[in-house]
Amino acid sequence: MTAKTKAISVKGRVQGVGFRYFVLRNAKRLGIRGFVKNMPDRSVYIEAQGQEENLNELIGLCWKGPDRSRVDSVETNEVVRKEWNDFYVE
């Protein structure tokens, strides 16, 4: 199966609650490569590359988030494939 790359934007109370590290742990567990970072508009932005079923699981987890988060929306778009060796927090 071919790896896909998705851009994921998560909005709500997602900064200052451990959201990036929640994504990092789950992405590594799912074998996903890419990055996660906080954005100036208080959202979290993720670029994730992996098998579609693993990406879908990560997107589902983004809707849940860590305990102190509140997720209002998760938007996803397929983006041009990039190459990462690992998953990291920017």
Cα of first residue to Cα of last residue in the chain, in angstroms, is 28
Catalytic annotation on 77?
no
User: What is the distance between the alpha carbons of residues 80 and 72, in angstroms, rounded to a whole number?
Assistant: 26
* C-alpha to C-alpha distances, 68 to 13, 42, 71, 89, nearest whole angstrom: 8, 15, 10, 19
Active-site residue (options: 13, 38, 68, 77):
38
Catalytic annotation on 85?
no
Where do we find the tokens 């670029």?
Answer: 47
Active-site residue (options: 20, 26, 33, 54):
20
List the structure tokens of 84.
């990462």
Length of the chain: 90
Indicate which residues carry an active-site annotation: 20, 38
